[in-house]
Amino acid sequence: MKEIFQLFKLTLREKRRLFLTFFCTTFVAFFTYVFVNLIQPIMDDMFQLAPQDMPQKTRLMDFVFQNLNITKEQLAVALPLILLVVIFGKGFFTFLSSFFMRSIGHKIVKKIRDDLYERLIYQSADFYDSIPTGELMSRLTSDVDKIQEAVSGSMGDFIRELFTLFALFIAIFFIDWRLALASFIIAPLALVPLMAFSRQLKKKGLLNQIKMAKIFNLLHETITGNKIVKAFTMEKFEIKKFFKATLSYFKTSLKLAWIGSLSSPFMEFMGGILGAFILVVGTKRIAQGHISAGDFGSFLMAIFLMYNPIKRLSRANNRIQQGVACYERIQELMGRESQIKDHPKSYPLPAIKGAVKFENVYFSYNESRPVLYDVNFEVKPGETIALVGLSGAGKTTIINLLSRFYESTSGRITIDGIDIREVTLVSLRSRIGLVTQDLILFNDSVKNNISYGHEDLSLDKVIEAAKAAKADDFIMGFPKGYETQIGEKGKLLSSGQRQRLAIARAILKDPPILILDEATSALDSESERLIQLALKNLMKDRTTFVIAHRLSTIMKADRILVIDRGRVVESGNHKELCKKDGIYKKLYELQFPEEKEIEP
């Protein structure tokens, strides 16, 4: 019941349509009521089943006939006509109410999906660390669909069937309240199992949802990581994992099917018991002259018509419960506040020179293990700083903090003396250009990928940037030039080409602070040479952080910070550090044995 109110509250957002639904539904109930009462004159008057000495009751149809001045002789023509009108009316208003309710469902769902997407896209990086992509996808697709089903179909059914049931109740009590009461004494016989069925369906339905999300997740991982699966020849393993997940889904689906298939015949059987009982009592009532055969006909028709609404109500109830369960899961996502966001006092970062300072910065991704300890360093405007260290030392983490993808646990990071936590995220990130190892490119044209974030830029500007990034040559080599589609995550390009596009993007952004995170890793020497040229263009007059494995890049840096297990352990230029005979020297010997021989 609680769920139905929750869903109903949701539909209240569409007051006008909801009102129209209720309005039309009232007519559906009204026509149902009239329909039931039509049986009586059809049997009593047309078929002349009524005994002449029947006690005079006030009946709905007698009242109607009197007002329409229809005599008993005209009934043979009038009754079929009235029947047609009533059935048409019922159908017409059913159509309208159903349409209005469906449109409410679609409107609500559009809003929920939009809200959720808006919420998600502003979430901070730790949020995405904690929830698998497949799960988010299933929230936005199948969960939202479930809500739509619940509102469009089930909520509409619910309102309509409830109204109809109400009308039918009134009808049977008016026809013969004693017979009606007698029928209700054994009604629980049918209602209790119905409730049990619906509870089971809800439980299993929820379980099914969770299992589907798991399948989604597996799909997502293996489709996007298809190459890795192949490279490690893990097909069999992944297939096994997938089969296990689908088997588990299949098992709960079977249970659902079992309950679903059983519920209808079982309910029918219960209805049969009820029907037999009414027949026995009803025949007695007719024999005693309390009601006519026609009254009993109407009564039976009403009971018969109740069957569908009750069944639909229980089904609607299931779907509503499912829909609400999905809604709650979505609400839970919506309720998650982004860890990193602007506060009321945030102000835009003014024009900066690009001095960066880390003061006693500590950080951990999760409480269990600190990743950065007491990081201190200072960078002057326009300087190039190289971060070196073993993989996993915390280099990427340091620059993640600078862009505020994550928030430092303690300590302070300043740009031109301004604490980055005090300024708006948009203004901060617009001053930082990022060229990373996992270049994020979108399935769009080359032009739009370069101008991402500056949609209104002219093609000339884009070409200029591409030329500076040494990307123009290969782009013009494509048949469609700048309009070439680059595929999902740029998979139709080579990694060197992707990196040059990312550099062109950074050139176009023209930020005072630039971060190159292994931007030149895994390149052949020709691409490397071109990219070095491109980078030289890009790094001019900017504060630049480079995380690189290439000695040439590192040696050109004004200063090198050596990071070891989350600490800055050494700092200085190449010569100074080599003299020191510390970690840098070891790293250098380890990483560049062959280059060392060439270098003086």
396 binds Mg ion (CB under 5 A): yes
As a whole number of angstroms, the distance between CA 498 and CA 520 comes to: 11
User: Where in 345-374 is the site for ligand ADP (CB under 6 A)?
Assistant: 365, 371
Out of Mg ion, ligand ADP, none, what residue 307 binds, judged by CB under 5 to 8 A for its kind, is none
User: Where in 63-122 is the site for Mg ion (CB under 5 A)?
Assistant: none
As a whole number of angstroms, the distance between CA 310 and CA 158 comes to: 10
As a whole number of angstroms, the distance between CA 285 and CA 296 comes to: 9
Out of Mg ion, ligand ADP, none, what residue 371 binds, judged by CB under 5 to 8 A for its kind, is ligand ADP
User: Where in 249-278 is the site for Mg ion (CB under 5 A)?
Assistant: none
As a whole number of angstroms, the distance between CA 182 and CA 384 comes to: 91
Q: Output the CA angle 120-125-127, nearest 5 degrees.
A: 55
CB count within 10 Å of CB 572 equals 16
Q: How far is the CB of 156 from ligand ADP (least distance, A)?
A: 45
Beta bridge partners of 513: 432, 543
DSSP string spanning 289-303?
A: TSS-HHHHHHHHHHH
For residue 2 the two structure tokens come to 């609680």
User: Where in 117-146 is the site for ligand ADP (CB under 6 A)?
Assistant: 129
DSSP 8-state symbol, 355: -
Tokens 């619906």 correspond to what residue? 198
As a whole number of angstroms, the distance between CA 139 and CA 134 comes to: 9
Q: Per residue in 231-267, is it b (16+ CB within 10 Å) or e — as a string?
A: eeeeeeebeeeeeebbebbeebbebbeebbeebeeeb
Size of the site for ligand ADP (CB under 6 A): 11
- List the x/- string, 374-413, binding to ligand ADP by CB under 6 A: ---------------x-xxxxxxx----------------
DSSP 8-state symbol, 369: S
Out of ligand ADP, Mg ion, none, what residue 97 binds, judged by CB under 5 to 8 A for its kind, is none
For residue 280 the two structure tokens come to 């026995």
**Amino acid in the structure at residue 272:** G
Choice between 348 and 392, CB closer to ligand ADP: 392
Residue partners of 359: CB distance under 8 A and separation at least 6: 376, 411, 412, 413, 414
Stretch that binds Mg ion, among 139-147, 200-208, 214-222, 388-396 (CB under 5 A): 388-396
Sign of the C-alpha dihedral computed for residues 68, 74, 78 and 80 taken in this order: positive
Q: How far is the CB of 242 from Mg ion (least distance, A)?
A: 31
66 binds ligand ADP (CB under 6 A): no
DSSP string spanning 135-156?
A: HHHHIIIIIHHHHHHIIIIIIH
Stretch that binds Mg ion, among 65-73, 393-401, 481-489, 587-595 (CB under 5 A): 393-401
Choice between 42 and 371, CB closer to ligand ADP: 371
Q: How far is the CB of 514 from ligand ADP (least distance, A)?
A: 17
DSSP 8-state symbol, 483: G
Tokens 């139709």 correspond to what residue? 492
Q: How far is the CB of 122 from ligand ADP (least distance, A)?
A: 18
Out of Mg ion, ligand ADP, none, what residue 394 binds, judged by CB under 5 to 8 A for its kind, is ligand ADP
Tokens 């502003």 correspond to what residue? 122
Q: How far is the CB of 258 from Mg ion (least distance, A)?
A: 52
Choice between 157 and 518, CB closer to ligand ADP: 518
Q: How far is the CB of 400 from Mg ion (least distance, A)?
A: 9
58 binds ligand ADP (CB under 6 A): no
Out of ligand ADP, Mg ion, none, what residue 289 binds, judged by CB under 5 to 8 A for its kind, is none
Q: How far is the CB of 562 from ligand ADP (least distance, A)?
A: 11
Out of Mg ion, ligand ADP, none, what residue 129 binds, judged by CB under 5 to 8 A for its kind, is ligand ADP
As a whole number of angstroms, the distance between CA 378 and CA 381 comes to: 10
Q: How far is the CB of 545 from ligand ADP (least distance, A)?
A: 12
Choice between 171 and 502, CB closer to ligand ADP: 502
Q: How far is the CB of 397 from Mg ion (least distance, A)?
A: 8
The secondary element (H helix, E strand) that includes residue 361 is strand 356-363
Choice between 463 and 506, CB closer to Mg ion: 506
Choice between 40 and 396, CB closer to Mg ion: 396
Out of ligand ADP, Mg ion, none, what residue 294 binds, judged by CB under 5 to 8 A for its kind, is none
Q: How far is the CB of 126 from ligand ADP (least distance, A)?
A: 7
Size of the site for Mg ion (CB under 5 A): 1
Q: What does the binding site for Mg ion look like in residue numbers (CB under 5 A)?
A: 396
Q: What does the binding site for ligand ADP look like in residue numbers (CB under 6 A)?
A: 129, 365, 371, 389, 391-397
